Amino acid sequence: MKVKVLSIQPAKERNSHEVLLTIGTERHSFLLKTEVNKVGEHVLQTTHGDRAFSEVFRFNQRVAMKVTDLVVKINNEEAVELPADVGIFVTPEAAVSKLKPFDSDGLLETSTHRGDRTLDTQSTEEIRREVRNRAIALLEELPDAMLDEAVKFLESL
CB atoms inside a 10 Å sphere around CB 82: 13
pLDDT of res. 122: 60
Per-residue pLDDT tens listing for the chain (157 residues): 999 999 999 999 988 999 999 999 999 999 999 988 887 888 888 888 999 999 999 889 899 999 999 999 998 899 999 999 999 998 878 777 776 665 555 444 544 444 545 455 567 777 777 777 777 777 777 677 766 677 666 666 5
Contacts of residue 141, Cβ cutoff 8 Å, sequence gap at least 6: none
